[in-house]
Amino acid sequence: MDFAFNDEQRLFAETLRQYARSKLKPEYQTWDSGTPYPREKLRELASMGITGLRVPEAYGGAQASYVTAGIAAEELARGDYNTTLFLQLGAMCADIVARHGSEAIRQEWLPKLAGGERLLALGLTEPGAGSDAAAIKTSARREGDYYVIQGEKASITFAGSADGCILFARTSGAERGSRGISALLVPLDVPEVSRQVYRSAGEKLTRRGSLIFDGARVPADHLLGAEGTGLAQALGGFDYNRALIALACLGAAQESLDETVEYAKQRSTFGKPLAEREGVSFQIAEHLTLVAGARLLAYQCLALCDRGERHSKEGAMAKWLGPKVAVDAIHACIILHGWMGYSDELPYVQRLRDVIGLEIGDGTPEIMKGIIARETFGRSYMIYK
């Protein structure tokens, strides 16, 4: 087993860490008000290769490995955890468009996605269909050369700012089940699409919210893959993205712990640095160990994905453990910094609010445990099939 990154990956990690600390970290709190993220900032991320990591080289991207994408998620989160969502959505959407889009769709969207000129959302979740994705009700009815879309998507990352959406909708008459669900690439600059941005506790940069489709018409050639294959396209990306989520959470936690180590060396109480107090140093030691273990699990998932091997269980394990470990570590950093840790002068409360959001997104802890159990015992032992 090889636990080392290659030279190119190490250089990539070092470059992104420097960028995250010098460019992203000083502005982290700026975007906590929900101010739209400037497109020039997105293009700056694109210049670092972030938005095009999974875009094929023929369309202007890097077509990097999933392990490399994990490195990017971990390092960017040290500066601004929320910027990793551009990486996550960019990777998943690029994979779907590259594999299932027509050549015209690939030419239209992939170069602009890689260059930071366009931003795609992933429209799966609905008010009544979260983890139970087969229960979605949004419909796409074929009328001649168009699909007419009716329905609402909820809790959509970048709902307030995306240029397009990979939408999952029913193209058959069935009200439930996965076989009637198709994927379409829907431009969002039409009057039949409206947006609602939520007032979330964290992840405000992402402008999470709802997309409402009231008879929006999209050309039939915007169908991605064959009708009825949409849900399989979506689920194919969730396993590796769960590892990216874990690494983003762990990157924010690791930065918090690194900062707290330096603080504990400098802050003295009763004549001694905090670092000499076992009540402090042992806490940090425990959290560093848990972060390191969760990190290896996430990279194991991505390495399996790169090799084309099954990684559903490892992805679910990483997604359950990574955010949990990160939340606990960041919470400890707040306490160890005392009253200043709880203030807006330091980034810990914002990091905690942000990371908690992805304890929920892409599947709650309960859903992750269900996947782990399914992969361990087999589907015949599951309560839900």
The verdict on domain 121-228 having CATH code 2.40.110.10 is yes
What residue segments make up the domains of the chain, in order of their start? 7-118, 121-228, 231-381
6 phi-psi bin (left φ>0, alpha ψ -120 to 50, beta other): beta
pLDDT band at 173 (very low <50, low <70, confident <90, very high): low
CATH code matching the domain that covers 7-118, chosen among 1.10.540.10, 3.40.50.720, 3.10.129.10, 3.90.180.10: 1.10.540.10
**Would you say residue 385 has pLDDT above 60?**
no
| pTM, to two decimals | 0.95
Is residue 230 within 8 A of residue 168, CB to CB? The reply is yes
DSSP state of 129: B
Beta strands in 198-355 (DSSP E): 209-219, 223-224, 268-269, 272-273
Is residue 51 within 8 A of residue 158, CB to CB? The reply is no
Summarised one tens digit per residue, pLDDT across range 75-111 is: 999 999 999 999 999 999 999 999 999 999 999 999 9
Summarised one tens digit per residue, pLDDT across range 54-83 is: 999 999 999 999 999 999 999 999 999 999
Q: How far is it, in rounded angstroms, from Cα 282 to Cα 364?
A: 30
CATH of domain 231-381: 1.20.140.10
